[in-house]
Amino acid sequence: MRCLDDTSPLSSSIDIVTVPNMGCQACTPMRHSRRPWHKFVSGSYSPDADGDHGRRAHAPVVPRSLPRATTDRIPQELVERIIDCLAWHSSSLYRCALVCRAWYHHSQTLLYSCVEIGSRAGYHTIADLVSKSPRTKQYLKYTRLLSITTAREDWSRSQAQRNYFPALPLVLGSALPNLQCLGFYDSLYPPYHSSFISLLPTFSGVIHLTLYRFEVCSFMDLRHIVCSFPKLRVLELMNGNVTSTRSLANITTARGKEIKSRRIGKLTLRDLESPLLSQLANWLLVTNACAGVTELALTCENAGDNRLSVEMILRALGPSLADLVCSVSHFRRGACTSHLSGA
């Protein structure tokens, strides 16, 4: 367990028996290899959309193709195993898909395993392909990771003009039956229709949810978003805010028992605004939500305003924690460890 204190060069530690957490098996290999995701852009997708320009310029080049008598003797299973080694290199997979028909299918399944929608134009592209191309729908069944971002060219537009994400569950919910990792990066903010939240359960296989630089109308909306995924194991909330500070008095213990049955094992809270962090801490403490969390990464500033919220979070999650990384600016050393005696 690690608890970092910004006011001291020393770090407090508590030795406990740790419980291993496998995390998100869908995106961990991708993060280790730093592979850019398959990007949908306006009109179609580009073979060099991952930005891999010139990386293989000095790679060895075979002067001529192998003899047909040699290639015919290579089993297809061996070819697919070799292509698997390129699973996180998009540009190489594009080239493999263009070699021959025998290589095309397996290369495409790996290419579609990670999909990024980076703009409204990209959304319209994939929505059009889903409705008109049976082949695209076939390959989207292999998608494990979906990232929703905001393109730089859309920054000059108003939020209402950029908002395409509310239609995603309706358009892609049935097309991505095996989706496991879902991320909204600088793309979740009001206004959004209530059907967006009510249709999120169509992504029933999601085990990893990431919200980065987001804003919700109320904390109840965030609670419904989190509770929409019954298989959720990893939750990351970063740089978030809430527009309404409505009281949480209507959260009942019965609802807390329903949430407690969810098996979130890893929770990341980073630089959340004070109103959102306060309501989140109250929810965790009052309802015993996320009571099974074993890994917690907590980072926040303005400890004077967030001290009570931090203590409430540690009091709620402390008994189950096996790994803690806590970085709070100007937080008195040792102030939070008293809540971790049961860990």
The Cα–Cα gap between 184 and 31 comes to: 16
Q: In the prediction, which pLDDT does 102 show?
A: 86
Q: Look up the pTM and report it.
A: 0.76
Residue 332, phi then psi, degrees to nearest 5: -60, 130
The Cα–Cα gap between 235 and 291 comes to: 13
Q: In the prediction, which pLDDT does 245 show?
A: 64
Q: In the prediction, which pLDDT does 50 show?
A: 43
pLDDT tens-digit profile, the chain (343 residues): 444 444 333 333 333 333 345 556 667 655 555 444 555 544 444 444 444 444 445 555 555 777 878 877 888 888 889 888 888 788 888 888 888 888 899 999 998 998 889 888 888 899 999 999 899 999 999 999 999 987 655 555 556 556 788 889 999 989 999 999 999 998 888 888 888 999 999 999 999 999 999 999 999 999 999 999 989 999 999 999 998 766 554 554 444 444 544 578 999 999 999 999 999 999 988 887 788 899 999 998 776 778 889 999 999 898 889 998 988 765 555 555 445 544 5
Q: Closest Cα to residue 90, out of 128, 46, 126? A: 46
Query: Residue 214 gets which letter from DSSP?
Result: E
Helix, strand, coil: what percent of the chain each, to 5?
40, 15, 45
- Other C-beta atoms closer than 10 Å to the C-beta of 48 total 13
Q: Closest Cα to residue 115, out of 86, 93, 138, 148? A: 148
The Cα–Cα gap between 313 and 218 comes to: 19
